[in-house]
Amino acid sequence: MILIPSAAVGFICGLVSKRRIGVVLAGLVPWLGLMGVILYNEYFVPYQGGGASMWVIAQLFSGTIAAGVGVGAYYMCRIYVKKDK
């Protein structure tokens, strides 16, 4: 669920942005987007029972994965589509 949007953001950043700002955006936008989804689910969706809230741990691991996939897609786009050396 988090891999495809993160890869899409990284690919788009690779197409439209410059080198330094593009890599930052490719990592930051998926991470912040995931944080927004997690916080929305935590604070605005009614409680559905269950155990302890694990949103901090989910943000730590899945946010890191989302940012990594975004940056990886950015570099793949720059190498294979834009033909950067």
pLDDT of residue 41: 86
Number of structural domains the chain divides into: 1
pLDDT of residue 28: 94
- Look over the chain and give the mean of its residue pLDDT values, rounded to a whole number: 88
**What is the per-residue DSSP string for 2-64?**
-HHHHHHHHHHHHHHS-HHHHHHHHHHHHHHHHHHHHHHHHHTSPP---S---HHHHHHHHHH
Alpha-carbon distance of 42 to 45, in angstroms, equals 6
Domain residues for the domain of 35 are 3-81
Q: What is the pTM of this model?
A: 0.84
Q: Tens of pLDDT along 12-51?
A: 999 998 888 999 999 999 999 999 988 898 888 887 777 7
